Structure 1
Amino acid sequence: MNNINNTQPANEFLLKASENVNERFRFGYHIMAPANWINDPNGLIHFKGEYHAFYQHHPYDENWGPMHWGHVKSKDLVHWEHCPIALSPGDACDVDGCFSGSAVDNNGELTLIYTGHHYIDQAQNLFFQNQNIAVSTDGIHFEKVDQNPVIAAPPADSSQHFRDPKVWKHNDTWYMILGNSTKEDIPRVILYTSPDLRTWEYKGVLDENANDMGFMWECPDFFELDGSFVFLFSPQGLESQGHKYNNLFQTGYYVGSYDYDTNHYEHGEFIELDHGHDFYAVQTLLDDQGRRIAIGWMDMWESDMPTKADGWAGALTLPRVLTLSEDRKVLMNPVEELKLLRETEHHVCEDQLVNRSHFVNVTEQLLEVKVVFNMENTNAEAIGLKIRGVGEQETVIRYTHADRKLTLDCSKSGKPADGIRNAALDANGQLTLHLFLDRSSIEIFANEGHVTMSSRIYPTEVQSGIELFAENGEVEIVECTYWNLKDIWKA
């Protein structure tokens, strides 16, 4: 048997590396590895009463390298614990990497479906990719199956890009979609079916776009949500359009209708899912409550990552529940269980007019903040809040009513070169800003998830407080509440 999955050396190295990690930017309540590099979330699943999240991981270095699968699990989506590395590359089916994929429960057997990466010429970035299976009965230790690769090669008209399988079951059949592109660099997602997860039949193209949708669609996900079918994916190669598509690569979705019998998907326009600096490769799971829960990679390719100097890089976002709005937009909101993080609650002000600014002294780094502005009782040109640090440091969230624009400005909190992101938001009547602050991140949920913005920040000075502000006028603050949050990794 060539498929050994020897994870012991990586686990031993990671244990030693974790002893030398600098704690200054380490998270208090986000998923991160004990040390070194992580990127895409993989294999999100609710299995035997526990949530499992895997992730792309290079345990030997703080930079990207031969991909392993790191692993955490939780009973409540809040208190995570590290598990042994689940997959290590180097076997015949995955010589140069265990790339992204998904997980399913196959009659009590936790099954990982992932891409094997094989370099032909690494210097020229020439490679081929195949699809593989690993299984576990205890949810912790995995064996690669003898049948690997279960899909050895892409369709004949494909480029070398053939990766990131998402697998689900419909009736008695397993379905797999894969990110792919043609030899002419037309991005697409292709479909396979299987009766047993071992033998797969190619069914054709589920969707493609030859016009303006980049050159490759990574990390596809496909699911039914509130009566519609959502295709969630991460296109590479989109050109920036004003306030849209300002990161190197994007993540977004289509909403439409799908016919399983004909493999026909009819959908609307592409919509960006998160408007912050650091959000990519989002994946979802369906839990036992029927919730569709999404988690993304909270970093971006080729971005500045100061934590590399500290012996680690990369983290995952908070878990978010997905729902569909009346106008068929995907809304993301933090899962209800995150309230378990709350330690102390502070009501700062209620029904109070703010002219210029109102300062709240808060020095803790792990915070949840909720501010509600009455937009019917404001004449200010712009309103918002600043997360203040000592000296010049601040992270600013600003809403301008005239152009209906929400802005996140991190230029004075670790992103001096490309610090500003914007999103359109119609906040007639009321503006609600729900924030989660960790030691090196901010996640914003505006107006019940109509806009989300996720960014890494790197404050080098002590936090001094929260400043509510109104520019050239005044605004009524209906509510301002914040909570000190617990550190799950030091509990």
Structure 2
Amino acid sequence: MLQKSRTNRAEEALSEAKGKMNDRYRLGYHIMAPANWINDPNGLIYYKGEYHVFYQHNPLDENWGPMHWGHVKSKDLVHWEHLPIALTPGDACDTDGCFSGSAVDNDGELTLVYTGHHYTDKEKDIFYQNQNIAVSKDGITFEKASENPVIDHPPADSAHHFRDPKVWKHDDTWYMVLGNATQDKVGRVILYRSPDLRHWDYRGVLAQSDGTLGYMWECPDFFELNGKHILMISPQGIEAEGDAYNNLFQTGYLVGDYDYDTNEFSHGPFTELDHGHDFYAVQTLLDDEGRRVAIGWMDMWESNMPTKADGWCGALTLPREITLGDQLEILMNPVEEITLLRETEHNECKKRPILENYLIDTKEDLIEVKAVFDLTDANARSVGLKVRGVEQEELILSYDVEEGQLTLDCSKFGKMKDGVRKAPLNAKDLLSLRIFLDRSSIEVFANNGQTSMTSRIYPKEERLGIELFTVNGAVQIDELTYWTLQDTWK
């Protein structure tokens, strides 16, 4: 009854906040809460013919606070339905928060595995964390297990950071990776195994920082892809190096080989997964088609979040299929179903040289753009496109042909401070850009997922259009097409 009472109170607060919300920056085709705060995606799973996504949620306020689990589901990864809040904190196993975790199908029973957060001194941010489960037979209402916590403390050599369980089954055994830090403030991922999701044995360290990869590794995800094992992590505390690691915290991956018998993971270097301003805490699912689908939090800690003034904050990225490239690099592209968003198609030009700026007049703010540049005989120093406001605002996406570098400049589109991000891209003869613009976001996928850049944007002016440009020379454009997109929430 206590759980139901807390859920009802949270739903009432959410309904009240929704009624007061300003929708100027509300996204048209991304996962958001009905109102108030969200961050990490949790519990991504394909269950009984539907995709379920949970997320860290404070239904009581537009700021981060006592973490609940919000919940949406979809049949096609495009059109999402809000469901009742799945988890509320306040029980002995999760006094001050139901932190991030994952979901599994345990013989038809949808099981959430999550971190319980407990403050011993909130003002000084002193806390401890444990791991818990909650189960559901209908995929909507969840009951916390009487055995909670199923893991009540971290290994003896740990700091108090001990969270974000990702669980999967291999043969007949359940495995769990957890984000952790040593007492010496070294980030790492540790591994447990269980026969039944309730009794867990510690197996040791899966991977650990060499001293350069931060003091804590959040939100681990570990899976096999094309015969290799991938560990995705969100390290806290990596120092910026030139154009790399420019956000407060990072998200990236390690690729290697794993032995279940010895718990040995031999891997290559850490690689950033997205090069924009706002991509963190990525989690993946394996669907019925065998695709590995990833979704991240489309914001960043301590960044400017003007939507708080509107009564909401936070969103998730488009679902992205991830594959492994020839150089063992992860390629990330929107899932095929995203084409269901398309309404009207506009083929602007094909096979023509661009020497001067070329403007497409469109005021639409929910669009997908495909631009393909032939760089074979290009003599331009750089090429790209701008999203123009009617007066001074512009967002610039440019590719430096000589340097092999893609730049996203949002400094005149709502990110006046620290508005530029750069990413390496070896485009050689062809530059292909696929761009998704929503009211307050941009997602860029370059050359079939070799590079992606995700950022929140906060324009104040009405859109004027999309402008192609070159610098110091001509370039041939092979294709320029854009689509207006559905507002799935309306």
Q: TM-score range by the shorter chain?
A: over 0.9
Partner of 1:256: 256
Partner of 2:198: 198
Q: Secondary structure at the match of 1:397?
A: strand
CA displacement, residues 67-122 of structure 1 (integer Å, 9 cap, x when unaligned) = 00000000000000100000000110000000000000000000000000000101
Matched residue type, 2:402: A
Partner of 1:52: 52
CA contact (8 A) 2:353 2:477 kept: yes
Partner of 2:112: 112
CA displacement, residues 175-222 of structure 1 (integer Å, 9 cap, x when unaligned) = 000000111111111111000001111111111124211000000000
Matched residue type, 2:340: L
Q: Secondary structure at the match of 2:355?
A: strand
Q: Secondary structure at the match of 1:15?
A: helix
Over aligned residue pairs, what C-alpha RMSD do you find? 1.0
CA distance in structure 1 between the aligned counterparts of 2:390 and 2:238, rounded to whole angstroms = 38
CA contact (8 A) 2:164 2:178 kept: yes
CA distance in structure 1 between the aligned counterparts of 2:381 and 2:291, rounded to whole angstroms = 39
Partner of 2:218: 218
CA distance in structure 1 between the aligned counterparts of 2:55 and 2:69, rounded to whole angstroms = 5
Matches within 5 A, 1:391-406: 391-406=391-406
Q: Secondary structure at the match of 1:219?
A: strand
CA distance in structure 2 between the aligned counterparts of 1:263 and 1:178, rounded to whole angstroms = 14
Partner of 2:131: 131
By how many angstroms is 1:13 displaced?
1.3
By how many angstroms is 1:5 displaced?
8.2
Partner of 2:434: 434
CA contact (8 A) 1:3 1:93 kept: no
Partner of 1:390: 390
Partner of 1:308: 308
Moved over 4 A (4+): 1-5
By how many angstroms is 1:6 displaced?
3.7
CA distance in structure 2 between the aligned counterparts of 1:313 and 1:356, rounded to whole angstroms = 40
CA distance in structure 2 between the aligned counterparts of 1:377 and 1:411, rounded to whole angstroms = 31
CA distance in structure 2 between the aligned counterparts of 1:190 and 1:2, rounded to whole angstroms = 34
Partner of 1:10: 10
C-alpha distance 5-67 of structure 1, shift in aligned 2 (>3 A): farther
TM-score, normalised by the number of residues in structure 1: 0.99
CA distance in structure 1 between the aligned counterparts of 2:449 and 2:285, rounded to whole angstroms = 18
Partner of 2:367: 367
Q: Secondary structure at the match of 1:100?
A: strand
Partner of 1:283: 283
Q: Secondary structure at the match of 2:123?
A: helix
CA contact (8 A) 1:372 1:432 kept: yes
CA contact (8 A) 1:4 1:91 kept: no
By how many angstroms is 1:41 displaced?
0.2
Partner of 2:478: 478
TM-score, normalised by the number of residues in structure 2: 0.99
Gap regions ≥5 residues in structure 2 = none
Q: Secondary structure at the match of 1:85?
A: strand
CA contact (8 A) 1:177 1:190 kept: yes
Partner of 1:168: 168
CA distance in structure 2 between the aligned counterparts of 1:33 and 1:365, rounded to whole angstroms = 21
CA displacement, residues 429-472 of structure 1 (integer Å, 9 cap, x when unaligned) = 10000000000000000000000000000011101100000111
Q: Secondary structure at the match of 1:83?
A: strand
1:452 equivalenced with 2:452 (yes/no): yes
1:98 equivalenced with 2:93 (yes/no): no
Q: Secondary structure at the match of 1:434?
A: strand
CA distance in structure 2 between the aligned counterparts of 1:143 and 1:433, rounded to whole angstroms = 45
By how many angstroms is 1:378 displaced?
1.1
CA contact (8 A) 1:367 1:438 kept: yes
By how many angstroms is 1:356 displaced?
2.1
CA displacement, residues 388-442 of structure 1 (integer Å, 9 cap, x when unaligned) = 1111101100000111100000000000111000000001010000000000000
CA displacement, residues 238-281 of structure 1 (integer Å, 9 cap, x when unaligned) = 00001100000000000000000000000000000000000000
CA contact (8 A) 1:299 1:455 kept: yes
Matched residue type, 1:14: L
Matched residue type, 2:280: Y
CA distance in structure 2 between the aligned counterparts of 1:348 and 1:201, rounded to whole angstroms = 60
Matched residue type, 2:412: K
By how many angstroms is 1:12 displaced?
1.5
CA distance in structure 2 between the aligned counterparts of 1:489 and 1:375, rounded to whole angstroms = 39
Partner of 1:358: 358
By how many angstroms is 1:227 displaced?
1.0
CA distance in structure 2 between the aligned counterparts of 1:484 and 1:112, rounded to whole angstroms = 37
1:180 equivalenced with 2:183 (yes/no): no
C-alpha distance 271-244 of structure 1, shift in aligned 2 (>3 A): same
CA contact (8 A) 1:56 1:99 kept: yes
CA displacement, residues 157-191 of structure 1 (integer Å, 9 cap, x when unaligned) = 11000000000000000000000011111111111
Partner of 1:30: 30
By how many angstroms is 1:3 displaced?
7.2
C-alpha distance 5-56 of structure 1, shift in aligned 2 (>3 A): farther
Matched residue type, 1:327: Q
Matched residue type, 2:86: A
Matched residue type, 2:172: D
CA distance in structure 1 between the aligned counterparts of 2:9 and 2:196, rounded to whole angstroms = 32
CA displacement, residues 114-168 of structure 1 (integer Å, 9 cap, x when unaligned) = 0000001011110000000000011000000100000000011110000000000
By how many angstroms is 1:377 displaced?
2.7
By how many angstroms is 1:16 displaced?
1.6
CA contact (8 A) 1:354 1:476 kept: yes
C-alpha distance 2-459 of structure 1, shift in aligned 2 (>3 A): closer
User: What is the number of equivalent residue pairs in this alignment?
Assistant: 490
1:233 equivalenced with 2:238 (yes/no): no
By how many angstroms is 1:11 displaced?
1.0
CA contact (8 A) 2:3 2:88 kept: no
Deviates more, 1:312-321 or 1:14-23: 14-23
CA distance in structure 1 between the aligned counterparts of 2:327 and 2:464, rounded to whole angstroms = 40
Q: Secondary structure at the match of 2:168?
A: strand
CA contact (8 A) 1:441 1:456 kept: yes
CA distance in structure 2 between the aligned counterparts of 1:391 and 1:59, rounded to whole angstroms = 37
C-alpha distance 119-382 of structure 1, shift in aligned 2 (>3 A): same
By how many angstroms is 1:488 displaced?
0.4
Partner of 1:488: 488
CA contact (8 A) 2:36 2:62 kept: yes
CA contact (8 A) 1:5 1:91 kept: no
Q: Secondary structure at the match of 2:340?
A: helix
Matched residue type, 2:328: R
Q: Secondary structure at the match of 2:84?
A: coil
Q: Secondary structure at the match of 1:19?
A: helix
Of all paired residues, the percent bearing the same amino acid is: 65
CA distance in structure 1 between the aligned counterparts of 2:340 and 2:6, rounded to whole angstroms = 37
